[in-house]
Amino acid sequence: MRHVRADSIYALIKSEKVNHFCGAPIVLNMLNNAADEMKAGINHEVKVMTAGAAPPASVIEGMEQMGFKVTHVYGLTETYGPSVVCAWHDEWDEKNATEKARLKSRQGVRAPMLEGLMVANPETMVPVAQDGKTLGEIFMRGNLVMKGYLKNPTTTDASFKGGWFHSGDLAVWHADGYIEIKDRSKDIIISGGENISSIEVEDVLYRHPGVMEAAVVAMSDDKWGEVPCAFVTLKTAAVGEVSEAGIIEFCRDNMARFKVPKKIIFCDLPKTSTGKIQKFVLRDQANQG
């Protein structure tokens, strides 16, 4: 498609009987929030593969409530893209919709052609405890991983230090072997010595009934060093009804107080042509006051 638009996507699914498609989480969120008349009339199973960013559980839940079957995959250009998949277990079918979405929002386990996947301390290369809490970096090796960066041996050597590819993504490792990204190393917010996952804060913001899109970045702070700053696009019906104070209060009710955004900026979020939010642009805006 030349342009990513909800009306065109729904029209093509219906007219061409599309039963598989791929879309970044921001695209799925757009489909979730489309008008009901666009969604009506899909009478066949549609499977969706999502990647490109960590999907909020609420976005996955919304797609599945419409009857779409979501598969979540993860990887980088350097690792043949989808080298990790959130493989589904039949016993999870018994769980409620919210819990299913939470499980599907995790990145998952290695694909068959990926030899190794671990979450480890980036300095010592020692795997972290599989407790779903200890933060480490995701490392990969195997046939899906590139040989190196073209004509750039310095960066290649740094990226493969210790014999593993360094992803730059920070994650936890769960007891069932599934990994879950908490942030990019450059996006983690360090506030008063505490790590705050921008993805975790965004996940809460997406649960607010008036929020269409959200992105959280670090904003400089004289006291804490950094604090979360949230950029939010409201749903049309919520414009004028939802305030900065209201969003902050919602966050206080749903997360630890030190993780709550100190500032909410209402705007349209800058995106790439494939729908990825350009956080570097938002970081600049947050720190320019």
All structural domains of the chain with their residue ranges: 6-110, 116-184, 189-287
**Mean pLDDT over each residue of the chain, to the nearest integer:** 95
Rounded to the nearest 5°, which phi and psi values hold at 91?
A: -65, -20
d(CA 281, CA 287): 10
Assigned CATH for 116-184: 2.30.38.10
pLDDT per position as a tens digit, 270-284:
988 777 899 999 999
Q: Report which of 88, 93, 195 is spatially closest to residue 135, judged by C-alpha positions.
A: 195
Per DSSP (E only), the strands in the chain are 20-22, 46-50, 68-74, 84-85, 109-110, 116-120, 136-141, 165-173, 179-184, 189-191, 194-196, 211-221, 225-234, 263-266
- Per residue in 247-270, pLDDT (tens digit) is 999 999 999 999 999 999 999 999
Q: What percent of the chain has pLDDT over 90?
A: 90
Residue, of 184 and 73, whose pLDDT is higher = 73
Q: Model confidence at 288, in pLDDT bands (50, 70, 90)?
A: confident
| Residue that is written with structure tokens 């300095």 in the block | 123
**Cα 13 to Cα 42: distance, rounded to the nearest angstrom:** 7
pLDDT interval class at 44 (50, 70, 90): very high
The residue-averaged pLDDT of 148-169 equals 97
Coil vs helix vs strand at 69:
strand
Range list of β-strands (E), 52-141: 68-74, 84-85, 109-110, 116-120, 136-141
Q: Under CATH, which number does the domain 189-287 receive?
A: 3.30.300.30
- Which pTM value belongs to this model? 0.88
> How many whole angstroms from its chain centre is CA 265?
20
54-67 pLDDT, tens per residue?
Answer: 999 999 999 999 99
Integer Cα distance of 201 and 197 in angstroms? 7
**pLDDT on residue 243:** 96
CB 177 within 8 A of CB 117: no
Question: Residue 91 in 3-state DSSP?
Answer: helix
**Model pLDDT, residue 276:** 81
Kindly report, residue by residue over 109-141, the tens digit of the pLDDT: 999 999 999 999 999 999 999 999 999 999 999
Q: Residue 85 above 90 pLDDT?
A: yes
CA angle 152, 157, 162 (to 5 degrees): 160
Task: For 206-240, write each residue's pLDDT tens digit.
Answer: 999 999 999 999 999 999 999 999 999 999 889 99
| Residue-level pLDDT at 289 | 64
- Given CATH 3.40.50.980, say whether it is the number of domain 6-110: yes
Exposure of 265 by Cβ count < 10 A (0-12 exposed, 13-18 middle, 19+ buried)? Answer: middle
